[in-house]
Chain A
């Protein structure tokens, strides 16, 4: 087959993004080795035919790998990118891993027509505590609005923080909103929309310009055909059912 990406190292995020990203790479005509599948323990995989190397990384570490040049390109959520603050090139929106970064607070404290900081201030003891896995995003968003708050950095189960008195509100990623609802929280402000991005090291982008351009074009095509497929399935549910 073609060797247009020969020598590229691609950092892939483990976790939620892994499977949709893998599907997208295949759709784009890349042939990641079959052992590169969910549950694999090996972290470095090489596709001998194309010469592409795949690194499996913690999602939050992908921007670090790319910025430091350990990988030429990588795939990371916009949420992770903003939190990392690493200077990497953001080349393409891959349209998977779509979610929103929101401020959420206990449903019981929300008041119609009252901004959330005021509603919390009315209910609280004068100090505002925000729990988040994204301390940098939370701090910058609140600072930009002139809201003084104490940020409590957690590594998971952020939705529990208000219920156990650890914080007054949270800043977190929401996909369907079900987790929020189950913890009696309600999103009161959208901070930004997130999705997976193709990122590149600033030097690789120059010294490997050709293979990177090929990769971007191939992935752009795959994203468009995936979007077209999804749109077709949505507008023609009958045809979609026939196919399955």
Chain B
């Protein structure tokens, strides 16, 4: 039998590649450092399977077109996991139906059908998932662990933290209709601040509220205390204020525990991740030399209910492939911003 070749060489499918020698060693070393870090934080390793039923990954992959799917001999549709959060949530529902505290870590390959050219379809992730703790202390501990994981993976790095209640609370508090809120969220998810500003301008709010909604997203870095002061005393902004206060508490705990780490943590209440999924803290990590975020995560207290095992949950995942490739670029002297 012959195999399809191009000029005698075997081709690879779209979006996948071989990882050789030095890069493979960097990946393994990075994963070992993270494993030690996660274990020291009290996390136990789990290894869910690569294949799941499509229903099992649907709660975290609403866009089915990004899934690699196959059909088993019984005709059921399977998916290569696009993410490990879904698999770990399913694993918890399978093995730990009784609510309780659990701290898990994982590392593994994930698969996504990316539309944009040149994006990897297979990459390696490592991360943690904490279940059963809804406290601000747990938020702070996960922020600190994310910061230490980034420090172990890259330099320079920055960890950005936000809270979904701030923007959602401000929008609701300004009396913006759910439909318009969706519009604003979509603009921010698409990173289109021009559209966000224009949409806010069209709402016909009082000028100081228009300015507040604009500044919080596109304005210069905000002082959290000043923002809290601006929100205090307005009944409608109670939810937003609670979000700000939660962030203040998290930041204070992290700073008390590790001032050096706290210098690399930035609070940005304008950071937007999917609001229908995240229910509080959101995390985004950046590393010098890698042009995309290398860490994402946050709190998703409603997710486990979709698996029939409701309990608070939070976690984050690091993109090990991008970190190892970024380190290679730096080693080759290709200075990156």
Contact = CB atoms under 8 A, between A and B. Distances in A.
A217 interface: yes
Nearest to B160: A206
A87 B337 contact: no
B121 to A, nearest CB: 16
Nearest to A67: B291
A5 interface: no
Interface in A173-230: 197, 201-204, 206-209, 213, 216-217
Contacts of A89: 191, 193
A58 B116 CA distance: 19
Contact of B286 (A93, A207, A216): A207
Given A87-B191, A90-B194, A203-B337, A217 B220 contact: yes
Contacts of B194: 90-93, 197
Question: Which interface class (under 10, 10 to 19, 20 to 34, 35 or more) fits A?
Answer: 20 to 34
A204 B337 contact: yes
Contacts of A217: 220
Contacts of B288: 203, 207
Interface string B187-203: 00001111100100000
A69 B220 CA distance: 22
Nearest to B287: A203
Identify the interface centre among B160, B194, B286, B293: most chain A CB within 10 Å of its CB: B194
B291 A202 contact: yes
Interface in B127-164: 156, 158, 160
Nearest to B329: A69
B180 interface: no
A209 B160 CA distance: 12
A202 B291 CA distance: 7
A67 B116 CA distance: 11
Contacts of B218: 91, 216
B337 A90 contact: no
B292 interface: yes
B312 to A, nearest CB: 28
Contact of A91 (B193, B266, B336): B193
B193 A90 contact: yes
Interface in B189-232: 191-195, 198, 218, 220-221
A208 B337 contact: yes
Given A90-B191, A206-B286, A207-B337, A213 B220 contact: yes
Nearest to A89: B191
A187 B191 CA distance: 30
A47 to B, nearest CB: 17
Contacts of A88: 191
Contacts of A87: 116, 191, 292
A203 B293 contact: yes
A7 B218 CA distance: 22
Contacts of A213: 220-221
Contacts of B221: 209, 213
A201 B291 contact: yes
A207 B191 contact: no
B337 A202 contact: no
Interface in A58-95: 67-69, 72, 85-93
Contacts of B160: 206
A69 B116 contact: no
B115 to A, nearest CB: 7
A9 interface: yes
Contacts of A72: 337
B193 A69 contact: no
Interface in B255-313: 266, 286-288, 290-293
A206 B158 CA distance: 8
Interface of B: 115-116, 156, 158, 160, 191-195, 198, 218, 220-221, 266, 286-288, 290-293, 336-337
Given A90-B194, A92-B194, A207-B337, 18 more contacts: A68-B291, A69-B337, A87-B191, A88-B191, A89-B191, A90-B191, A90-B195, A201-B291, A201-B337, A202-B286, A202-B291, A203-B286, A203-B291, A207-B156, A207-B288, A208-B337, A209-B266, A216-B218
